[in-house]
Amino acid sequence: MLAHELRNPLAPIMVAAELLGTGVHDAEWVQRTGAVILRQVRHLTGMVDDLLDVSRVTRGLVLIEHEMIDLRTILAQAVEQVNPLIETRRHRLEYTAHDAPLIVSGDTKRLVQVVANLLNNAAKYTPPGGLLRLEIRRVGSCAEVAVSDNGIGMSRELIARAFELFAQAERTADRARGGLGIGLAVVKRLVDLHGGSIAAHSEGPGQGSRFTVRLPLVAGMDDAPPEDAPAKAPADGPVLDVMVVDDNHDAAEMLSMMVESFGYRVRTEFDSNAALGAALASPADVYLLDIGLPELDGYELARRLRAAPETAHATLVAVTGYGREQDRRTAREAGFDFHFVKPVAPAALAALLCDLAQAPRQPGSRG
């Protein structure tokens, strides 16, 4: 496919050049031929630029800037970029802007590229006159951008490899719209570099597609509920149940407040036996465990949570004063999935919870 796409523009350029060299042509003919060459060279240049970019991005050679950006600005710029294509194909684009800023730390140019690529695909893979939707909302500690269409849809098999380099659906004669098959690979990599995650959904061929990107919000700069508001779950989207266990009351309360400010449900326990009882009675999705607990220490608590069927598949995060390799290994062996050194960086915790909220762990999927 790649060779085919790259060679395609060469044929008209070659023919035009040969004809220019033969006989006498009037000015209008020369002008038209020049226009063909220009159009094809531009197309080719675009592809070469994309290929160079994908090579840089996938080899980790791009530097991501980290500025505070309102995602609504990103969306507006992406829409502006793709609008000509949307109009040419007579699609309707529904875009409901979020009413408050959603601030992420990232690279404006690259985030616009992410959203523009998804919109571009939606416009390409939807028959003319379709409906495209761009949505943005807050889900716990992350912002979610969703691009959906009512176009040709994707098979399960295509969804499974869509983010791989050069992955494309079988090309039928009526679908000459495809590009090089690199857009989504770049998008995935750029989202990763921003600490986010991306997922593709489709009910199947002909049923439209939906791509959701989650990016961690910068804590304290988003539209988090004010302190006195009850820690209610955001009205939309799945949330996580988090349990914080630390015998140091202040440390436990502070960590819990942080988790709550991200928009998740949180329970706080100061004693590991009480925590175990509470966890078995009403399991949480994520446990943030101090290690130096009296009686049952954090490692033992983790082992018991792993051993009980109610909590075996939960995400266990060790929150410790030590970050030596040996401490990390002990934590892993006790069943912890992640290891944070105190004081926990809000951005890192927000990013982790954001990720867990997008892809809730399936039983048995622990790696």
**Which residues bind to ligand ATP, rule: CB under 6 A?**
121-122, 125, 149, 151-154, 158, 162, 167-169, 178-185, 209
Q: Does 335 bind Mg ion (CB under 5 A)?
A: no
Q: Which residues have a Cβ under 8 Å from the Cβ of 354 and sit 6 or more positions away?
A: 139, 140, 141, 142, 195, 196, 197, 214, 215, 216, 217
Q: Residue 30 and residue 98: Cα distance in Å, rounded?
A: 51
User: Is the CB of 184 or the CB of 244 nearer to ligand ATP?
Assistant: 184
Q: Which does 266 bind (CB under 5 to 8 A by kind): Mg ion, ligand ATP, none?
A: none
Amino acid of residue 65: E
Q: What minimum distance in Å lies between the beta carbon of 208 and ligand ATP?
A: 7
Q: What minimum distance in Å lies between the beta carbon of 120 and Mg ion?
A: 6
DSSP line for 51-89: HHHHHHHHTT-PPPP-EEEEHHHHHHHHHHHHHHHHHHT
Burial of 11 (0-12, 13-18, 19+ CB in 10 A): exposed
Q: Which does 180 bind (CB under 5 to 8 A by kind): ligand ATP, Mg ion, none?
A: ligand ATP
Among 40, 105, 113, 121, binds Mg ion (CB under 5 A): 121
User: Is the CB of 176 or the CB of 235 nearer to ligand ATP?
Assistant: 176
Question: Angle 298-307/325-334 helices, nearest 10 degrees?
Answer: 30
Q: Which does 9 bind (CB under 5 to 8 A by kind): Mg ion, ligand ATP, none?
A: none
Phi, psi of 150 (to 5 degrees): -110, 40
Q: What minimum distance in Å lies between the beta carbon of 347 and ligand ATP?
A: 29
Q: What minimum distance in Å lies between the beta carbon of 81 and ligand ATP?
A: 14
Q: Which does 149 bind (CB under 5 to 8 A by kind): Mg ion, ligand ATP, none?
A: ligand ATP
Start-to-end CA distance of the chain, whole Å, equals 35
User: Is the CB of 179 or the CB of 346 nearer to ligand ATP?
Assistant: 179
- Cα dihedral 259, 110, 95, 263, rounded to 10, equals 0
User: Is the CB of 37 or the CB of 51 nearer to ligand ATP?
Assistant: 51
Are 140 and 263 in contact by the 8 Å Cβ rule? The answer is yes
Phi, psi of 216 (to 5 degrees): -65, 135
Structure tokens at 174: 């009526």
Q: What minimum distance in Å lies between the beta carbon of 355 and ligand ATP?
A: 22
Q: Which does 275 bind (CB under 5 to 8 A by kind): ligand ATP, Mg ion, none?
A: none
Q: Which does 263 bind (CB under 5 to 8 A by kind): Mg ion, ligand ATP, none?
A: none
Q: What minimum distance in Å lies between the beta carbon of 168 and ligand ATP?
A: 4
Q: Which of 245, 236, 237 is nearest to 269 (CA)?
A: 245
Q: What minimum distance in Å lies between the beta carbon of 181 and Mg ion?
A: 8
Q: For ligand ATP, which residue has the nearest CB?
A: 179
User: Is the CB of 181 or the CB of 196 nearer to ligand ATP?
Assistant: 181
Q: What minimum distance in Å lies between the beta carbon of 49 and Mg ion?
A: 14
Integer angstrom CA distances of residue 134 from 78, 128, 202: 10, 17, 16
Q: Which of 243, 246, 240 is nearest to 320 (CA)?
A: 246
Span near Mg ion by CB under 5 A; candidates 77-85, 118-126, 335-343, 349-357: 118-126
Integer angstrom CA distances of residue 353 from 107, 136, 176, 233: 21, 18, 41, 14
157-186 mask for Mg ion (x: CB under 5 A)?
Answer: --------------------------x---
Which positions touch Mg ion (CB under 5 A)?
A: 121, 183
